Structure 1
Amino acid sequence: MMLPSAPAAVVGADGMPLLGRFSGQAAQFDWTRLAGSHARGALWRRFHHKKWHYVALATEDVFCAVAIVDLGWISSCFAYAFDRKDEDMLANFSQEGLPGIAAKVADHAGGNSTFKAKGTRIAVNCSGDGRYSLELVSPYLEIDAQFGPPAAPLLLATGPIAGGSVHATQKSSGMPLTGEVRLWRGEYSLDGGVASFDYSNGLLARNTAWRWASGHSLELGFNLQAGYFGANENALWLDGQVHPLAAAHFIYDHHDPLSKWHIFTEDDLLELHFTPEGARRQNKNLVIAASKYLQPIGTFTGWVRSSADEPKRVVSNLAGVTEDHTSKW
């Protein structure tokens, strides 16, 4: 199934959100233009508007993830570098900053996002031609990465949120990667690796939870979510196109999340087994807010296909992550 082209803006001229899944990039995410039952006051939006820009970098040797987050009432970032061969977390940190000052998350997926606070500087930049860069400088980890253009169109997904209003996200396919990671153990080349990103922007509920899986090569990739956004962002990138997927199921041992995961979609277009190599964990309790976060890093094996009458395409040892996240924000 081919997706329609992405609209220029996720809110129409009549103030109604343009709901659905699309192929391509939107240039405007302006929730102040919402009308009718989707509209919310400025104070409500201040505390419910959540934006984040997440970048994943994968090679045979190392997996890195970097995120810049704007929760409205606080800003934060996190970054880690994981040695895949030694199954060792080389660096792992998070940091908070003043709202509206430390983190500036782009207004759309083609914009620039930055974080600056206490010796940490992160910049995710887009050159406008589908090419991106990531620069991170911190006491624990340094990254210089260049990636793009995407091998297939971005996914744009927009949908209603129970207890919130509307959410929208842009996910990329795999992108060719070059660059370098520097830390206490030495330097890791990113050349020949694969990058991907997640740009999300919406008016979310106070309590939000999800399970997520993402894995990419330059030939195929997928994004799967079960939780607050339903099946809205479930997609498969294959043969240069982005295809919608049905609801996803995540079967794993909650008491032992580093055991194998079984993930499949209801449309019989994807079935995968995920083997974790390690994980990033972080639990926070800030009294007025709390989060429980687990992101295993590992490999996916199984099969995918773009439609039920297409042959199954083998997925073998594809690097990626799963995630189990619960937030009160």
Structure 2
Amino acid sequence: MDPLIQANGQPHYGIFPTAPSVINYRDFDFRSPMGRRLGPLAKWRRFHQFQYFGLISDQLIGGCALANLSLAGIGFVYLFHPASGRMIERQFKLPLGFGTRFSQQPNDGVCELRSGRNLLRLENHAASQEKRLLVELDDGTRIDACFTEATPAFQSMCINTPTAVNGWVYAQKVAGVRCTGQVKSALGDFDLAAIEAFAHHDWSAGYMRPETCWNWACLSGQAGAQRVGLNLSCGVNETSFTENCFWLDGELIKVDTVRFSYDREQPLQPWRIDSYDGQVALQFEARGLHQERMNLGVLASNFKQIFGQFRGVLRPHGRAAISIDNLWGFVEEQYVKW
């Protein structure tokens, strides 16, 4: 596909069969809400980008994220061992993003954060359609995980939506793919292929609402003979189009809007997630939590990513229902001011 921003300074909108070649945000005709043309400084300040790589299996759960918030570069990584309930987690915040770099090509290039002897690195390779996570921490923790969208063929969710009065958000989502690689940590050493791990991936960027919040849910696993992945959200990426979908053996099944029902004061209590079109009816039971709070005045975040197990049913139109029986995955609640 062509670059996201067209020659007239306006983005392509919609759900795309393939990813844009580049998120060329500097070419965007960025205006104030009253129509005044904004310059390079405003484009830099308001553009935000993040990437996430998740690992899912019965024996090990993991997540790593990098975010470029213009005024700060942020990263986190965690590993959770379901059998013991033990967890490793680290967080990094770097002023003005010093020590980070971010490619604006969704399917190619490197995003990484370096802090002392710690490295968080996400690589996307266009030729092989591979995505790789490399984490090296000063306590000896090492994650080297990889998946491919080439074999068997996988349909990514690639979407760009208008946001607020003058913005847009591009998002690219993957879930329900087999993962290979190695994890070495205080929780033990794991061969990801041997423990039948799955992966999911999120690449997002754009001019998001200056103050926003959202819910998100994702699962990956084996349901009978089928590989299943799920990506649902509420509160972002849903103006004109939504990113809601699930995958059966790599085939993307579009889903309508969804409702997240849960107790915000007790997020570890059960969640209920249902789609308006009836294709999704799930309950989520929490098993653990990664959370962060940050309040720097101009930047603020209250973030909860909860990992646990889903039960329920997926009902693709015109097909047999898919029973979801204790598949591992994530739900999320996030508030952001940026």
Whole-angstrom distance in 1 between the partners of 2:236 and 2:125: 32
2:191 aligned with 1:197, yes or no? no
- Check the 8 A contact 1:153/1:173 in 2, yes or no: no
Question: Which residue of structure 2 lines up, in the alignment, with residue 42 of structure 1?
Answer: 40
- Check the 8 A contact 1:51/1:71 in 2, yes or no: yes
Q: How many residues align?
A: 321
Using a 3 Å threshold, how does the CA distance of structure 1 residues 43 and 148 change in structure 2: closer, same or farther? Answer: same
Whole-angstrom distance in 2 between the partners of 1:318 and 1:145: 20
Whole-angstrom distance in 2 between the partners of 1:100 and 1:296: 27
Secondary structure of 2:204's aligned partner: strand
Whole-angstrom distance in 1 between the partners of 2:52 and 2:131: 13
1:22 CA drift (Å): 2.3
Whole-angstrom distance in 2 between the partners of 1:36 and 1:100: 22
2:155 aligned with 1:146, yes or no? no
Whole-angstrom distance in 1 between the partners of 2:289 and 2:190: 19
Of 156, 159, 166, which residue of structure 2 is paired with 1:157? 159
Question: Which residue of structure 2 lines up, in the alignment, with residue 228 of structure 1?
Answer: 236
- Check the 8 A contact 1:79/1:92 in 2, yes or no: yes
Structure 1 segment 275-314 matched on structure 2, within 5 A: 275-307=285-317, 309-314=318-323
1:61 CA drift (Å): 0.6
- Check the 8 A contact 2:30/2:166 in 1, yes or no: no
- Check the 8 A contact 1:264/1:271 in 2, yes or no: yes
1:40 CA drift (Å): 4.2
Secondary structure of 2:233's aligned partner: strand
Aligned partner of 1:14: which letter? N
1:24 CA drift (Å): 2.6
Using a 3 Å threshold, how does the CA distance of structure 1 residues 296 and 32 change in structure 2: closer, same or farther? Answer: same
2:85 aligned with 1:83, yes or no? no
1:70 CA drift (Å): 0.5
Over the aligned positions, Cα root-mean-square deviation in angstroms equals 1.9
- Check the 8 A contact 2:30/2:38 in 1, yes or no: no
- Check the 8 A contact 1:11/1:17 in 2, yes or no: yes
Question: Which residue of structure 2 lines up, in the alignment, with residue 321 of structure 1?
Answer: 330
- State percent identity of aligned pairs: 23
1:99-148 deviation digits (Å, cap 9, x = unpaired): 34322222122122111112211221123211222111112432111222
Whole-angstrom distance in 2 between the partners of 1:108 and 1:264: 33
- Check the 8 A contact 1:72/1:99 in 2, yes or no: yes
Whole-angstrom distance in 1 between the partners of 2:320 and 2:162: 34
Whole-angstrom distance in 1 between the partners of 2:8 and 2:19: 21
1:164 CA drift (Å): 4.9
Secondary structure of 2:179's aligned partner: strand
Using a 3 Å threshold, how does the CA distance of structure 1 residues 37 and 277 change in structure 2: closer, same or farther? Answer: same
1:292 CA drift (Å): 0.5
Secondary structure of 1:126's aligned partner: strand
2:213 aligned with 1:216, yes or no? no
1:167 CA drift (Å): 0.7
- Check the 8 A contact 1:147/1:195 in 2, yes or no: yes
Of 17, 22, 25, which residue of structure 2 is paired with 1:23? 17
Aligned partner of 1:106: which letter? S
Whole-angstrom distance in 1 between the partners of 2:229 and 2:188: 30
Secondary structure of 1:125's aligned partner: strand
Using a 3 Å threshold, how does the CA distance of structure 1 residues 121 and 47 change in structure 2: closer, same or farther? Answer: same
Question: Which residue of structure 1 lines up, in the alignment, with residue 59 of structure 2?
Answer: 61
Query: What TM-score do the two structures reach when normalised by structure 2?
Result: 0.89
Whole-angstrom distance in 1 between the partners of 2:105 and 2:310: 30
Aligned partner of 1:318: which letter? L
Whole-angstrom distance in 2 between the partners of 1:161 and 1:278: 32
1:11 CA drift (Å): 2.2
**Bigger shift: residues 226-235 or 62-71:** 226-235
| Consecutive aligned runs of 4 or more in structure 1 exceeding 3 Å deviation | 35-40
- Check the 8 A contact 1:164/1:205 in 2, yes or no: no
- Check the 8 A contact 1:58/1:190 in 2, yes or no: no
Aligned partner of 2:277: which letter? D
Aligned partner of 2:285: which letter? T
Question: Which residue of structure 2 lines up, in the alignment, with residue 169 of structure 1?
Answer: 171
- Check the 8 A contact 1:163/1:204 in 2, yes or no: no
Structure 1 segment 231-270 matched on structure 2, within 5 A: 232-270=242-280
1:183-208 deviation digits (Å, cap 9, x = unpaired): 22432332221111100011112212
